[in-house]
Chains A and B, each alone.
Chain A
Amino acid sequence: MTIRHEPERHTQGAGEPAEGLTRREAVVRLSSAALAAAAVGAGTLGFFERRRASAAEPAIRDWRLPVQGEAARAVAARGADAAANVRRALAALGGMERFLRRGETVLLKPNVGWDRLPEQAANTDPLVVAELVRLCRAAGAARVIVADISCNDPGRCFARSGIAAAVAAAGGEALDARRLPMAAASLPGAAAGLEVIEQLLTVDRVINVPVAKHHGLSRVTLGMKNWFGVLGRGRNRLHQDIDRSIAELGAIFRPTLTVIDATRVLLDNGPQGGSLDDVKAVGAVAAGVDPVLLDAWGAVQLGVKPRQLGFLVEAEKRGLGKGDPGLVQELGKA
């Protein structure tokens, strides 16, 4: 390799001073250095130990409205038309207007756990969900959100259950369950450390809309068990002590209204079912403000005595409601 020493082309202007800087140059140099130093200092002080505001995790709000007058705590309507059952039950409770104020956002929590058709009774009946959306809208709700964290692929569950289409037609929004934003919330007891559907922290009212089903571990799944569906990863730990877990969820989540769908009930192979032989058409819907009372009523529709359900006994002991199905006001057939 040959290396030539090329003389440097110096830009040695004739006016180059022999010594030092001009006053102007010195001022510019010193002030730009001072600015750089100030930027370092500002950045250091601005970010020093500035932990991201580790605000306390939000608690789950109490979505209930105070019951006024002598209204029933729970009513049940029977008949072949599921939507009519919903309307009659709500009318007997004093109308949906009693449970929400104009302009509020309402979240409906149906059971959309499984990739099943409505006839298989593994999910809440779409007619019941849609009718509730309509009633909320008619009562002045600004937004009606429908959300659940499905066990099967959520896209398939919402489509094949008929709930996505029914909710859209009724003027509600089914959240895209494939990318549901989750948020940390301060959940006590068994649910500690779990996340919940983020919208649950911001909506004004929540209506729990379970379907009455058999369940392999807790015997039946109804309203309080339905809260599993708002919890994210880690909820599968709750089965290790299911009765206590369900009662704890019942204490954490206090819905404005519980509506139990017993249009069709699943009597065996729950909670996903599959065979139509396990499905019984009961043709009933119950609604009210006492989650324990409504779960007791749901158990009766499944042929189970409420006294035999560990979670119901536990919930009653905690004072979450009354477990006597006789207290539900039966409206009879339309």
Chain B
Amino acid sequence: MTATRLTRVLYQATFLGLFLWLLARLAAGDPRAWPYALFQWFDPLAASGVTLAAKTLPAALALAALLLLATVVLGRAFCGWVCPLGTLQQLSSFLLSPRSRRESLAVNRWRRWYALKYYLLAGFLAAAVLGSLQTGLLDPLSTLARGLAAGAWPLLPGGRAVPGGWLAVGLVAAILVASRFVPRLFCRAFCPLGALLGVFARFALFRIERRGGACTDCALCRFACQGADEPLGAHRVGECMVCLNCVPSCPEGAIGYRWLGRAAPAPERPDLSRRYLLGSVLGGLVAAPLLRAAGGGRGAARGSLIRPPGALPEGEFLQRCLKCSLCAQSCPTGAIQPALAQAGVEGFWTPVVVPRRGGCEFACTRCGEACPSGAIEPLAAARKTGYDGRPPVRIGTAFVDRGRCLPWAMATPCIVCEEMCPTDPKAIWLDRVEEPGRDGRMRSLARPRVEPIRCVGCGLCENRCPVGEEAAIRVTSVGETRDPLNRMVLGS
């Protein structure tokens, strides 16, 4: 292994390790304020998507500009040296591939359809302009974090199931398997972040340079080329991931990565068809209202659409959510799950609170601290609980199902929900009654009732209710702080 390649592999291992370590600390409930969303902060796809959708650039995401500037100097070095999903693909391709050198030669040729990623990027950004942020569906950092949160941590001892996560796991698995057949197929053809970096890499000051005189057309440089960017022929600097495999592979020393490297001859065909580009922009502009029309919580509130505490109003939330699952990873109880249908098609994979999976701990504010884009605002514990004197942050309201509740329907004592209720005074109070049983003898029962003005919708009651699959006390989103129209009680 040459020094160049060793250096690159060390970088890749370090960044993959850092990515996994941050996710691990987040899941472990580490109280220290590590920069959990470090990778997302530097993600220019997230930053540009949120900026177009919300018409404002959250301060945390401004770091992404540094990555774009680095790309203008170095090319897509992020893809080849930093991106953890890229590293895993490269690993999968390296470990699983039985390709011969001849096959490698064919599989690392540039294909015209690899331009698909640019069309996806154009479509995503066009939809974002209309307020529907969908970049997270394919953003490699969101994709990997989401896949691991749903597919890796649940497998660890004590891991909690993420029932809505199998599709997110499946996407990561498909990306890794595809890389066994075509190295970094996702990066080459699908990655919208790679496409955005590719747009800026066209200006790269450092780039692969081939000295024509020394080259013997042996094509050894293509055997391990990650980006299918044809260092031998018309080098495509926008596709090049700066893996630098080509440099040491050249027996003649004809290839270098140099400052103001000589511009490659223009590719024989244009990378992008103007017609397709226009089509994908129009597609994105049509998709945004279409997704919205397919339901969701924008127009009318939905009972099961319970957002984490501190979440912005639904419209603004959907302009910012990166679908990265960091909030779910941070949740100590497993209450936060990726939405399948709760938030409509538009809100697919956005976070929802599922109280049967976990209750929202009263003074916990980790999801807002983990959120990279401000879709969930960071809350102080005193603000969330209302101990600062203002009303607490509510995410819903609990309702007793009198047909299932043990004291209400079965004349059986039970006070679990009242016991779990964390507010002060408790939102759940006990109505003590004397009631004749089947044998006619009187028994005293304590029936739980909810005082809606005190309930914060944390769902601890629903989570601990002993009535099996479907609890006898359940939370719906009504009363949530973030939506002034989703209320029921006068003056609340």
Residue positions of A touching B, CB distance < 8 A? 1, 3, 5, 7-12, 16-21, 25-26, 29-30, 32-33, 35-37, 40-41, 43-44, 47-52, 189-190, 192-195, 232-234, 237-238, 240-241, 245
Q: How far is the CA of A245 from the CA of B491 in the complex (A)?
A: 10
Tell me the chain B residues, 179-220 only, with Cβ under 8 Å from chain A: 200, 203-205, 211-213, 215, 217, 219
Contact of B105 among A3, A18, A190 (CB under 8 A): A3
Q: How large is the interface on B (under 10, 10 to 19, 20 to 34, 35 or more residues)?
A: 35 or more
Residues of A within 8 A of B213 (CB): 18
- Docked Cα-Cα span, A10 to B210, in Å, equals 11
B383 at the interface (CB under 8 A from A): no
Contact of A10 among B58, B212, B490 (CB under 8 A): B212
Chain A neighbourhood of B55, CB < 8 A: 47, 50, 52
- Collect the chain A residues with CB atoms within 8 Å of residue B469's CB: none
Q: How far is the CB of B168 from chain A (nearest CB, A)?
A: 29
Q: In this assembly, does B489 line the interface, its C-beta being within 8 Å of a C-beta of chain A?
A: yes
* A138 nearest CB across to chain B (Å): 40
- B232 contacts partner chain A, Cβ-Cβ < 8 Å: yes
CB of A9 to closest CB in B, whole Å: 8
Question: CA–CA, A256 to B56, complex, Å?
Answer: 41
A to B CB contacts below 8 Å, 30 in the list: A1-B106, A5-B102, A5-B219, A10-B212, A11-B265, A18-B211, A25-B263, A30-B260, A33-B203, A36-B200, A37-B68, A37-B72, A40-B65, A40-B69, A40-B72, A40-B200, A43-B65, A47-B57, A48-B62, A49-B57, A49-B58, A50-B56, A51-B56, A52-B56, A192-B491, A194-B484, A194-B485, A195-B485, A240-B490, A241-B490
Q: Judging by beta carbons under 8 Å apart, are B56 and A49 in contact?
A: yes
What residue of chain B has the Cβ atom nearest to residue A239's Cβ? B490
Cβ-defined contact, A237 with B490, below 8 A: yes
CB-contacts of B257-313 with A (<8 A): 260, 262-263, 265
Closest CB of chain A to B414's CB: distance in Å? 30
Within 8 Å of chain A (Cβ to Cβ): is B242? Answer: no
B233 at the interface (CB under 8 A from A): yes
B371 beta carbon closer than 8 Å to chain A: no
B10 in the interface (beta carbon within 8 A): no
Shortest Cβ distance from B492 into A: residue: A237
Whether B262 contacts A20 by the Cβ 8 Å rule is: yes
Task: Answer whether residue B127 sits at the interface, using C-beta atoms and an 8 A cutoff.
Answer: no
Among the listed A36, A47, A234, A240, which residue makes an inter-chain contact with B203, where contact means beta carbons less than 8 Å apart? A36
A85–B26 Cα gap in the complex (Å)?
A: 74
Specify which chain A residues have a CB less than 8 angstroms from the CB of B106 in the assembled complex: 1, 3
Q: Which of B72, B217, B263 has the most CB of A within 10 A?
A: B72
Say yes or no: is B416 at the interface (Cβ < 8 Å to chain A).
no
User: Cβ of B485 and Cβ of A233 under 8 Å apart?
Assistant: yes
For A30, what are the chain B residues with a Cβ–Cβ distance below 8 Å?
Answer: 205, 260
Give the complex CA separation of A48 and B54 in angstroms. 11
Q: Given the known A-B contacts A47-B56, A237-B490, are A10 and B485 also in contact in the complex, defined by CB atoms under 8 Å?
A: no
Contact of A48 among B59, B200, B215, B488 (CB under 8 A): B59
Give the docked Cα–Cα distance between A10 and B231 (Å). Answer: 12
* Contacting pair A44 B57 (CB below 8 A): yes
Please measure, in the bound complex, the distance between the C-alpha atom of A189 and the C-alpha atom of B492, giving whole angstroms.
Answer: 10
Which residues of B from 42 to 75 have beta carbons under 8 Å from A? Answer: 48, 51, 54-59, 62, 65, 68-69, 72-73
- Is B103's CB within 8 Å of the partner chain A? yes
Bound: A285/B200 CA distance, A: 73
Nearest CB of chain A from residue B164's CB, rounded to whole Å: 30
Taking the closest CB of chain A, its distance from the CB of B19, in whole angstroms, is: 24
Q: Closest CB of chain A to B406's CB: distance in Å?
A: 30
Q: Which residue of A8, A12, A47, A237 has the most chain B CB atoms within 10 A of its CB atom?
A: A47
**Given the complex, which residues of A lie within 8 Å of B103, measured CB to CB?**
1, 3
A21-B260, A51-B56, A234-B487 given; A29·B65 CB < 8 A: no
In the assembly, what is the distance between CA of A51 and CA of B58, in Å?
Answer: 9
Task: For A44, give its contact among B65, B72, B73, B219 (CB under 8 Å).
Answer: B65
Q: Which 4 A-B pairs have the closest CB atoms?
A: A193-B484, A240-B490, A47-B57, A44-B65
Query: Hey, which chain B residues are within 8 Å of A241, CB to CB?
Result: 490-491
Judging by beta carbons under 8 Å apart, are A33 and B72 in contact? yes
